[in-house]
Amino acid sequence: MIGFILRHKTGLSFILIVAVLLSTIAAQVPAPRHPSVLAWAIYAVFSPLQQTVSYVIVGTRDVWSNYVDLRDVRKENETLRGEIAGLQRENQRLRETLAIVGGLQELDAFRKIFEDLSDRGSQMAMVIGAGVGDSSHTVLLNRGGLDGVTEYQGVICPRGVVGKVVRVGPTSCLVQLVTDPRFAMAARIQSSRVRGLIHGVGERTCELKFIRDNDQVAKGDRIVSSGLEDIFPNGILIGVVSSIQPGEPPFREVDVMPSVAFQSLEWVLIVERKPKPDASEEQIQ
């Protein structure tokens, strides 16, 4: 028996690996995904790497804009070179600081208003990287399980809905953006209060599904979260209607341009999920 196992160890381990992986897939498919130990461990190893990559990219950009780009100016005017470069570096640094502080102040102000109105807690997080898949639209945040982040928490910014947390590591989490083809959330047209389902379609847009031919909708209408699910509170802006086309009767195809510019996203809020009603209250009701 042991001889057989040793003789065929490669083939047997192949079968074992494939079987375990297929079971892992099967376990994830019908039910909502639970945080797996494997994903947790991989995050723990690789998210610091990803953070380093983003620091290196930002650092390289700074070096490029603060040094390499200024070399020609230095050649043209030797005497003013140091002064101009110094001032520009200082200016650039101050602008960057101002932009960061401005962004943070805006987010902090937004956070206070949001928490007052929605009666939910939230925590600020920084975007530290992007996912690696071509078909998925995801970003990585610097808050994870150790900060109390859990799967299926909503992520927003002052401009509107960003997405939702789909994977959580110890110090980082992966956020599925509203443009991701697997993203879906309950939404409504702000003016007519008609309800639908926002669905990512890849590229830079999403689609508002289940809007009937006789429903009131027009180009430029604002689409907001409906609050029917416990991930996002009611009334958070998702985007505006960019085009309406006839679809499969009785529905229409409504394209929505997200209000958030994902490419320039730096700081976001991770929103607490709505607390479930107390069991004793439920029983009383």
Partner 1 sequence: MRIIRYALLLVAVFIFSSAFRWLFPQAPLPFDLFLIVVVFVALFRSPMHAQLFGLATGLIQDVFSNEIIGLNAVSLTILAYAIASLRQAVMIKAAPQRALAFTFATIADAFLLAGIASAFNLPVVLDPLSLMIRAIANTAIGLIAVLLLQNRIEERQKMERYEVA
The answer to whether 169 touches 39, Cβ cutoff 8 Å, is: yes
The answer to whether 139 touches 262, Cβ cutoff 8 Å, is: yes
Structure tokens at 64: 């490029």
Residues 113-132 interacting with partner 1 (rule: CB under 8 A): 129-132
Q: Which is nearer to partner 1, 49 or 99 (CB)?
A: 49
Q: How many residues bind partner 1 (CB under 8 A)?
A: 45
When asked if residue 198 is in the footprint of partner 1 (CB under 8 A), the reply is no
Of the candidate residues 5, 8, 24, 99, the single one contacting partner 1 (CB under 8 A): 24
When asked if residue 174 is in the footprint of partner 1 (CB under 8 A), the reply is yes
When asked if residue 263 is in the footprint of partner 1 (CB under 8 A), the reply is yes
When asked if residue 37 is in the footprint of partner 1 (CB under 8 A), the reply is no
Structure tokens at 133: 């898949």
Q: Which is nearer to partner 1, 203 or 282 (CB)?
A: 203
Least distance (Å) from partner 1 to the CB of residue 117?
30
- Residue 124: other Cβ atoms inside 10 A: 17
Q: At what angle do helices 37-66 and 78-118 cross, to 10 degrees?
A: 140
Of the candidate residues 118, 153, 171, 176, the single one contacting partner 1 (CB under 8 A): 176
When asked if residue 34 is in the footprint of partner 1 (CB under 8 A), the reply is no
Contacts with 228 (C-beta within 8 Å, 6 or more apart), sequence order:
186, 195
When asked if residue 262 is in the footprint of partner 1 (CB under 8 A), the reply is yes
Of the candidate residues 93, 95, 182, 212, the single one contacting partner 1 (CB under 8 A): 182
Least distance (Å) from partner 1 to the CB of residue 134?
5
Local structure of 140: helix, strand or coil = strand
Give the length of the chain.
285
Q: Is 19 left (phi over 0), alpha (psi -120 to 50) or beta?
A: alpha
Q: Which is nearer to partner 1, 180 or 221 (CB)?
A: 180
Pairing relationship of beta strands 173-177 and 222-225 according to DSSP bridges: unpaired
Q: Which amino acid is at 142?
A: N
Q: How far is CA 134 from the centre of its chain?
A: 15
Q: What are the residues binding partner 1 (CB under 8 A)?
A: 9-10, 13-14, 17-18, 21-22, 24-26, 28-29, 36, 38-39, 42-43, 46, 49-50, 53-54, 57, 129-138, 166-167, 174, 176, 180-182, 203-204, 262-263
